[in-house]
Amino acid sequence: MKEENKLALFGGEKTIKKPFARYNPIAIEEKSAAIKVIETGVLSKFLGTWSPDFFGGPKVQEFERLCESFFGVKHAVVVNSWTSGLIAAVGAIGIEPGDEVIVTPWTMCASATAILHWNAIPVFADIDPNTYCLDPKSIESNITPQTKAIMVVDIFGHSADMKSILAIAKEHNLKVISDTAQAPGAMYYGEYAGTLADIGGYSLNYHKHIHTGEGGILVTNSDIYADKLRLIRNHAEAVVEAKGEKDLTNMVGYNFRLGEIESAIGIEQIKKLPSLIGKRQKVAERLTEGLDGLKGLQLPFVENHCTHVYYSYPMVIDIKLLNISKHKIAEALSAEGIEGVGTGYTNLHLLPMFQEKIAFGSKGFPWNSEFCKRDVDYSKGICPIAESLHEDSHISIGVCQYELENSDVDMIINAFKKVWLNLDLLR
């Protein structure tokens, strides 16, 4: 074998010799906006009372109006993190202790813990092997008399099959929350992912497409849910009497309030979202063109009626065909200098919290409470596709973490081809 084809893992020269530039969409517009807020001295203007300041300062409200216009929704409510957003969303739809909410295991843990927060019970359904989003058939098979909602996660930048999921929800009188943290700006039949559910929304933390450091955007077309989201965001229990709110369901409020600086940055970021997405899509298209044809490598799948915004670039390795572990391939790719190579994602149902069924206190609450009507199964094997992908075959490149030029993408492609040329040696 020629020396230039010798794997770096075995002492050869790296394909990529310099680190990738970190993704940073913050520019002069954001800096100027933040400075202007600082100069006013008003870094937040929320008050936990029923007054004009209940709704926050001028930048919070400007950011919300801009998000409503951009996403084409009646209401946008910004919060200090997407975890806060998920907690508020579950509370706003009226979830009761012991209610079951179907959710994917293939997501960040906040999707499930936001359900537990209200003493409701997460029930994990399996995922589609192509989009990695919730499989509608698995949703249906997990519905029980206790099921009250579905939390859909638009993972990696691609929308779930919302038409099928909304049809299931309508048939069984279920609410739908769309966790679109990783897919702001993704399209589904010409509408923005996250806007078709009862409540949806997006993350603004540092490695997402748009970021304000931390933050989240909730979107809904329901006046009732929007009111409840705002109340939960800002000390509901102190406000409901003066507001005249009669329904006290889940009116335990928090300080989930976003500041004026973050909102000012968000205003500038949301304006850039189409171009920021476009850059990620061009990177992904170039990767797909260059990696197409590599034996046993399944590239990202995009439904005809969807667009993908590529929070990450997900792939599947056919380990039976190649007779090699994904971990060995990932090790070789990383040795060639590719940063951000992932060797799986997650299986929430296998986390200690769910295996031991211990969340609040040490006695197994809420699973052992009078509210939980059955022994919910979290055993290994309930989500075979998610489990197999995580353990055996899924790898990814975190394209949203880096500012990749064409030359960087070409080096990634060359590194893949070099590794594939050496698969026999890796075995």
**What CATH number has the domain bearing residue 64?**
3.40.640.10
Considering the domain boundaries, does residue 382 fall inside one? no
Considering the domain boundaries, does residue 134 fall inside one? yes
> If pLDDT is split at 50, 70 and 90, which confidence band does 152 have?
very high
**Cα–Cα distances in angstroms (integers) from residue 77 to residues 202, 219, 277, 389, in the given order:** 11, 6, 22, 35
* Mean predicted lDDT score pLDDT of the chain: 96
Considering the domain boundaries, does residue 361 fall inside one? no
Within this chain, do residues 248 and 148 fall inside the same structural domain, yes or no? yes
Check if the beta carbon of residue 367 is closer than 8 Å to that of residue 96: no
pLDDT for the residue numbered 1: 53
pLDDT for the residue numbered 410: 97
3-state helix, strand, coil in the chain (%, to 5): 45, 15, 45
Which residue segment(s) compose the domain that 168 sits in?
28-269
- How far is Cα of residue 7 from the mean position of the Cα atoms in its chain? 35
> If pLDDT is split at 50, 70 and 90, which confidence band does 333 have?
very high
Helix (H) or strand (E) holding 333, with range, is helix 326-335
Check if the beta carbon of residue 105 is closer than 8 Å to that of residue 128: no
Bridge-based pairing state of the strands 100-103 and 121-124: parallel
**Cα–Cα distances in angstroms (integers) from residue 226 to residues 61, 72, 93, 193, in the given order:** 14, 15, 10, 18
Q: For residue 27, list its beta bridge partners.
A: none
Write the pLDDT tens digit of every residue in 359-398. 999 999 999 999 999 999 999 999 999 999 999 999 999 8
Within this chain, do residues 78 and 96 fall inside the same structural domain, yes or no? yes
Distance between CA 7 and CA 336 in Å, rounded?
A: 7
Within this chain, do residues 71 and 101 fall inside the same structural domain, yes or no? yes
The CATH number assigned to the domain holding 294 equals: 3.90.1150.10
pLDDT for the residue numbered 399: 81
Check if the beta carbon of residue 11 is closer than 8 Å to that of residue 426: no
Question: Which residues in 8-30 are b (16+ Cβ under 10 Å) and which e?
Answer: bbeebebbbeeebeebebeeebb
pLDDT for the residue numbered 400: 81
Identify the domain boundary among 225, 240, 269.
269
> If pLDDT is split at 50, 70 and 90, which confidence band does 101 have?
very high
- Cα torsion angle, 399, 402, 407, 412, sign: negative
Q: What's the rounded mean pLDDT across residues 205-223?
A: 95
DSSP for residue 1: -
166 has a pLDDT exceeding 70? yes
Query: In one letter, which amino acid is 275?
Result: S
Query: In one letter, which amino acid is 402?
Result: Y
Distance between CA 253 and CA 230 in Å, rounded?
A: 9
pLDDT above 90 as % of the chain? 96
Considering the domain boundaries, does residue 287 fall inside one? yes
Phi–psi pair at 391, nearest 5 degrees: -80, -35
Within this chain, do residues 232 and 294 fall inside the same structural domain, yes or no? no
Considering the domain boundaries, does residue 370 fall inside one? no
Distance between CA 291 and CA 190 in Å, rounded?
A: 29
The number of folded domains in the chain is 2
Considering the domain boundaries, does residue 360 fall inside one? no
2 has a pLDDT exceeding 70? no
427 has a pLDDT exceeding 90? no
Check if the beta carbon of residue 305 is closer than 8 Å to that of residue 361: no
> If pLDDT is split at 50, 70 and 90, which confidence band does 325 have?
very high
**Cα–Cα distances in angstroms (integers) from residue 79 to residues 37, 60, 220, in the given order:** 18, 9, 14
Q: How open is the CA angle 264-186-93, to the nearest 5 degrees? A: 75
DSSP for residue 198: S
pLDDT above 70 as % of the chain? 99
- Where would I find the H helices in 19-161? 28-40, 58-71, 82-92, 110-117, 136-141
